Structure 1
């Protein structure tokens, strides 16, 4: 390329790219988007106008650089720089749209703060557990999309023989005018739909990344249009401080403090606690407290681990990490001179538990094995190290050890001797797997991985028993959250819904001197600190530092559990599970499910039935984030 292309050829490149992006964006829509003429017209207008919007990060710098180079009569180097910029930026748009579509198809949400945090936090990408074939496929897709843009640029800017008739292409100003008309029409149609609660368009808007809702209810009312009531109830909170705990703790350290062994498995859902799947944990649960309807404080690792250590709703993550506040439970353990050995087969930096749960821990007490061997191998190595720590500890001081198993995280890894479910998918490629058609062999991988995790749990329990430590050690076994295999929401994994499959985990609690029993009612991760703190000599009632209840109290009863993600809070009761957005803008579809995780026929009636609980939840959302006094 020896000279700068003409402006017409740059326009042609962006027009071609715009058509590719329109095709890409149209893949976000479904057949329902064309079920009625009005919805079909809105979908067409939105697809085209948002394709232009998504291209703006390439259009603006591209034209600015072109104008700058044109004024300076750029040579070959300038033309090459322009080509690289345009292909790179437009290729990045295509890659991001593909990534967003993949995320939305799997989990039901677009690229958001959670995804950005995952990408830029140390250990975030590794936590996905993608197989080598998935990584290779992703790399090939990125290369293919960049190659597509390079080919488009070459075709649009190539020299054309003089004898060939010029192609008639729309001028850039006419394309811009058409996009503007479609944008205004789409905005007006959405605003009208919001005013009259026309749900086909409102819910279709959820499928577009970064959709910007616009409503004009007041204007519609003035024009005499019958407006509908808001269809989505949300909760708006404004934390104004931090009051954690509400009052200072009163602690009388026990003369013989109990040791603590805390075992957490990634994505370990409730129905894995069966004799044929997890025989060691099943047998141990018969000697301990077995929590049959136990719920995580979230549908992802961040909120799940946070809630079991702090005993607070997941939304408190944000003010507590901002304030740099460790959980009171860990503070008390440090004050009582516990020895620590904290292990994970992933990372302490994603989610950033090194800045929350384990904020005050010594680096030498934190052992993360990530990368290298497969997760099941790292799990086994961590258990080897924990058993060595137990044997080498100072017997004159209590100890606390924590383990996070990664083997049950997708893509679910296990050794050959842990295979109990066949057939299983040999190569689980996230990008090429037929999830609908291969869900059973994918789930069989998960069952095999859980069986291996159970073996490692069994090793710990057997070692404690062999060393005579069970009678002086609290043992806690939980999942951070659940895992769904398209049983209810037609989605695989977690972090998308609040049904039982994604939020409920096994719960086994061994406390020396407690009689074995089954708690068949609802329990929560939030109850763990409220149960352990009194055993450490904390005299305050749990309400001073937690939103949980003491599981060891004879009158223990919980009417409902609460789970959270980045933008929602969910009520989980015996009859209903209802999720509400927090500080949300625009239309966000609510989950209103029955006890079998099926959509209810009358959502408004369900919400009316739980209104007292919702008032309580709203108060609790800011209970520990208000100024003292």
Structure 2
């Protein structure tokens, strides 16, 4: 009995010791494979960023492999009596683990995603895509991995006594522990200070969840949460990659047409408001010009919706652009051509992206009214724009951007009277039995009608000044507004990607272009390439500076367009909408935004989308002077 007990103890002790050293060599193997993540990701530009990369590379893979050992191999050492069988089991576990890691590195290099349900579908689908056409060859190396693991297992077992006598296990474990702890401490500091060279590495490695400890720091007086939130709002998300925008330096055929350009961005206006009942002036203007009736915003939120309109890039690039303070190619080119800028907003350009990126290199207009301390409003912005327009000289090209925000606020009683009742601004709000949704919708319609009256004055002013025939007027919106039409308890914006939240008007007055209703799929991303090609006569292909195409491209037969935000990729098609979250999970919805039973996206389309969302990322930023 005693002998048997001692034998069991010795076997288990040997197997545990073997498991430690076997795990160590697998940590080295995992680290070598992990260099594929490093070479594909942005190289940090600072010493602290590089130190964090080194520590997280060693510490993360050390923790990952040792965690598998603790959870699987260590308990098995007590349950599997045969040392040969136990070592074979360890070899199989290591082979599966390294094979999964190899697949993950391939997925990360191909579509910038770690293994997820979407990636597995892409790998296992019958569709012919670049990803699944080559990944099968990876399994050629699986027998090689298995043989190498067998050799490693046998070598460690034979050298176990010699390895144990060296007494280096403790120092090795200490090094891995220091690297793991050190990387997390650096990330805690970097997150609190919004230090991008570190935070941009957050998702480089699989199962990477760096600590932040904001609650702990706030509790002990080390972090002011309000001040942190303010800095974060000003600087944007800091875990973004470096972006190359444009991909190559732009070239131009000539100086362009010299026409004036006015962009009117109506915040939160959905497309079905453009009717003779709600917005008669805009509806008539649409009938007389180019009306893109199946147009979608690049996002369902304020900042990223504006970003897509003025940059022509999907929302996923917004954080990178904002962190690097790159202004839009369109505005840079207009400035280089000598356009006189007039920028006006009903909210005084409250969104941080305006000052941090879009107009970072442009002096924002100050109020020209008699009361410079007045509260910003659409009425004041319109008055300032009218004063600015009156000062423009004939022959001097100008660019005007006017942001109108009353529809986003839809408050009544201060600046305009309700037209549609009952509404929030009418006495009916106090009456029993009034549907609150009807009140909200009517208040929204009233705000849209109020904006329409302003648009009517703008059209009249342009015509009265005699510049309408030489001015391109673009009327668009950053996103729509929902009143739970989908029945999913979703309201306002930013809550889903139904047509009520992302289908927006796009109406363009372009001199010498006949009126037309364009019914094909279009996107706000198409505005920039249209203006760059047809106003500024750029010779460089749109793919070098935008994800959109010219609205005048007669060969545009796209079957999908892009939308989304920081967390989601959205693929809009004629009959369905596919939403992919940042973890690679996806859902497919019909035209009424109802979840489709067993809905599955076309994986070749998703591959095209993934490629589009990484085209503008580059290891080194591209300096542009345009």
TM-score of the aligned structures, taking structure 2 as reference length: 0.58
Q: Which runs of 5+ in 1 are unaligned?
A: 1-55, 66-88, 97-112, 125-237
Deviations 1:510-533 (A, max 9, x none): 111111101111111100001000
- For 1:468, the equivalent position in structure 2 comes to 466
CA shift, 1:370, in A, is: 13
CA shift, 1:412, in A, is: 3.3
- For 2:392, the equivalent position in structure 1 comes to 393
Change (3 A) 1:569 1:436: farther
Change (3 A) 1:421 1:350: same
Alignment size in residue pairs: 402
Q: Which runs of 5+ in 2 are unaligned?
A: 1-213
- For 2:305, the equivalent position in structure 1 comes to 304
CA shift, 1:383, in A, is: 1.1
Separation of aligned partners in 2, 1:591 and 1:436: 36
- For 2:612, the equivalent position in structure 1 comes to 620
Separation of aligned partners in 2, 1:433 and 1:122: 43
Deviations 1:142-192 (A, max 9, x none): xxxxxxxxxxxxxxxxxxxxxxxxxxxxxxxxxxxxxxxxxxxxxxxxxxx
CA shift, 1:347, in A, is: 3.6
- Is the 8 Å Cα contact of residues 345 and 370 (structure 1) preserved in structure 2? no
Separation of aligned partners in 2, 1:417 and 1:239: 43
Separation of aligned partners in 1, 2:218 and 2:330: 52
Alignment pair present for 1:592 and 2:592: no
Deviations 1:225-268 (A, max 9, x none): xxxxxxxxxxxxx9754221111111244464010111011110
- For 1:341, the equivalent position in structure 2 comes to 342
Change (3 A) 1:437 1:370: farther
Alignment pair present for 1:454 and 2:452: yes
Separation of aligned partners in 2, 1:438 and 1:59: 43
- Is the 8 Å Cα contact of residues 346 and 379 (structure 2) preserved in structure 1? no
- For 1:16, the equivalent position in structure 2 comes to none
CA shift, 1:602, in A, is: 1.7
- For 2:505, the equivalent position in structure 1 comes to 506
CA shift, 1:596, in A, is: 2.2
Separation of aligned partners in 2, 1:308 and 1:384: 24
Separation of aligned partners in 1, 2:217 and 2:470: 67
CA shift, 1:566, in A, is: 2.1
Question: Helix, strand or coil: the match of 2:338?
Answer: coil
- For 1:539, the equivalent position in structure 2 comes to 539
Counterpart selection for 2:441 from 440, 443, 447: 443
Change (3 A) 1:441 1:467: same
Change (3 A) 1:419 1:253: farther
CA shift, 1:472, in A, is: 0.7
Deviations 1:320-351 (A, max 9, x none): 11222111000000000110110111143423
Change (3 A) 1:256 1:524: closer
- Is the 8 Å Cα contact of residues 378 and 404 (structure 2) preserved in structure 1? yes
- Is the 8 Å Cα contact of residues 374 and 413 (structure 1) preserved in structure 2? no
Provide the alpha-carbon RMSD of the alignment: 3.8
Question: Helix, strand or coil: the match of 2:352?
Answer: coil
- For 2:39, the equivalent position in structure 1 comes to none
- Is the 8 Å Cα contact of residues 424 and 439 (structure 2) preserved in structure 1? yes
- For 1:262, the equivalent position in structure 2 comes to 263
Separation of aligned partners in 2, 1:384 and 1:419: 22
Alignment pair present for 1:575 and 2:581: no
CA shift, 1:352, in A, is: 2.4
Aligned ranges 1:307-386 → 2 under 5 Å? 307-364=308-365, 378-386=377-385
Deviations 1:441-486 (A, max 9, x none): 0111110000000111111111111222111101000111000001
- Is the 8 Å Cα contact of residues 589 and 595 (structure 2) preserved in structure 1? yes
Larger Rg: 2
CA shift, 1:423, in A, is: 0.1
Change (3 A) 1:513 1:57: closer
Change (3 A) 1:359 1:281: same
TM-score of the aligned structures, taking structure 1 as reference length: 0.58
Question: Helix, strand or coil: the match of 1:315?
Answer: helix
Aligned ranges 1:151-230 → 2 under 5 Å? none
- Is the 8 Å Cα contact of residues 422 and 442 (structure 2) preserved in structure 1? yes
Aligned ranges 1:126-141 → 2 under 5 Å? none
- Is the 8 Å Cα contact of residues 234 and 356 (structure 2) preserved in structure 1? no
